[in-house]
Amino acid sequence: MTSLWWAITLTVATCYGWKFAGLSVPEKVLEHRLTVRAAGLIPVGLLGALIAVQVFAGDHRVVFDARAAALVVAVGLLVVRAPFLVVVFGAAGAAALIRLV
Amino acid sequence: MGDAAPADRRIIIDSLGVGIATGVYGVSFGAIATTSGLSVLQACVVSLLVFTGASQFALIGVIAAGGSPFAGALTATLLGSRNMFYGLSIAGRLKTRGWRKAAAAHVVIDESTAMSITRDTDRQARLGFYCTGWSVFVLWNLTTLVGAAAGQSIGDPRTYGLDAAVGAAFLALLWPRLTTWPVRLIALTGAAIALGLVPFAAAGVPIIAGGAIAVLLGMRLQVDA
């Protein structure tokens, strides 16, 4: 198997494992104050980091290109409460347009 | 029982609506997956068996950014941890065991939980959970296939701005959580640390390190996200 298939297998196992554990683990373990707080913070911290790298990382440096402009468009669409797909493909369209001109 | 039928119908209609609205995101996942280097088969396997949107986007996002597949898997795993808490919050209402529990676990996601936990009765909670979960599942997988096939035939994804679409997808997932300033600070901390590490660290590391430090800061400052 290629490393990509191994990574997919690992992701399948861990993501299903979380879901199944939630239906199985006694409440006491998971309702601890610190566990609840960490669970809320993990997506916020990780998505913040993911967005930054996705948009501003070039070849081992920080770059501002069409992706940054597309992010601004995405923010604008989110502010006016556009649906998910409009935000995603609106940002893609903006980046494509900027590269075209 | 006179009121039960209209209420049930309402729950089923609402659930299918959420299922359709969410399920079509699969197009963007499929298209970005194949333009990030996954085969159509791999994209479909991920949607069928991982089946939790943010984790799936994280896996392909890290790989597209040049990170190792295992850094992608680790990021996806961390993001998937919230589903455990969803499972906990609805376990008491589903009351399943055996193979039914194994099947129900697969559709424990943001949407099925949200459409379930607010119901008055356990029966309505189950109706909302299963209708939403499985309608998202069916559509998400069909649209993944469509997006993956399209993504593979369009050539350089940058021409269509698809590399910019991933950041927008993540932002759209994060946006509803950014309701208070402390939470925004945590997200910005993750972003700033990740970018600070980009010049020095192997691809994939900045995401995990930035996310981890942001979470530790949030724990330290006792931020409720």
Residue-wise burial string across B23-54, b where 16 or more C-beta atoms lie within 10 A, e elsewhere: bbbbbbbbbbbbbbebebebbbbbbeebbbbb
Over range B152-176, report the average pLDDT: 83
**In this structure, is residue A99 part of a structural domain?**
yes
Spell out, as residue ranges, where chain A has pLDDT lower than 70. 30
Separation of alpha carbons B194 and B214, rounded Å: 10
Q: Name which of B89, B79, B88 is nearest B174 in CA terms.
A: B79
pLDDT-based confidence at residue B4 (cuts at 50, 70, 90)? low
Q: Does residue A22 form part of some domain?
A: no
Helix axes B205-220, B69-80, angle to 10 degrees: 30
Bridge partner residues of A62 (DSSP): A57
To the nearest whole number, what is the mean pLDDT of chain B? 90
Q: Which two tokens stand for residue B125?
A: 């909670």
Q: pLDDT tens for residues B113-148? A: 988 887 889 999 999 999 999 999 999 999 999 999
Q: Is B128 exposed, middle or buried (0-12, 13-18, 19+ CB in 10 A)?
A: buried
pTM for the full model?
0.81
Q: Which residues in B lie closer than 8 A to residue A6 (C-beta atoms)?
A: 69-70
Count structural domains, chain A: 1
Helix, strand, coil % over all residues of chain A, rounded to 5: 80, 0, 20
Burial of A3 (0-12, 13-18, 19+ CB in 10 A): exposed
B162 is written with which tokens? Answer: 């698809």
Structure token pair of residue B211: 């996310």
Q: What is the pLDDT of residue B110?
A: 85
Distance CA A10, CA B9 (A): 39
- The residue segments making up the domain with residue A79 are 64-101
- Backbone φ and ψ for A62, nearest 5 degrees, come out as -90, 125
Assigned domain for A48 exists: no
Instruction: Report the share of chain A in percent with pLDDT over 70.
Output: 99
Residues of B in Cβ contact (< 8 Å) with A97:
161
The rounded distance, in Å, linking the Cα atoms of B53 and B75 is 13
- Tell me which DSSP letter residue B65 carries: T
B84, A19: Cβ pair inside 8 Å? yes
Q: Is residue A41 part of a domain?
A: no
Confidence of residue B1 (pLDDT cuts 50, 70, 90): very low
Predicted local confidence at residue A67, as pLDDT: 95
How much is the CA Rg of chain B, to the nearest whole Å? 19
Tell me chain A's radius of gyration from C-alpha atoms.
19
Residue A92 maps to a domain: yes
Cα A74 from chain centre? 14
Residue of B164, B162, B189, B184 lying closest to B174 (CA atoms): B184
**Residue in A46, A53, A87 nearest the CB of B168:** A87
C-alpha distances (whole Å) from B78 to each of B34, B201, B204 are: 23, 20, 13
Which residue on chain A is closest to B223 by alpha carbon? A37
Expressed in angstroms, the distance from the first to the final Cα of chain A is: 43
> Which chain B residues in 93-122 lie under 8 Å from chain A, judged by CB atoms?
94, 96, 101-102, 104-106, 108
Q: What is the average pLDDT across B16-42?
A: 89
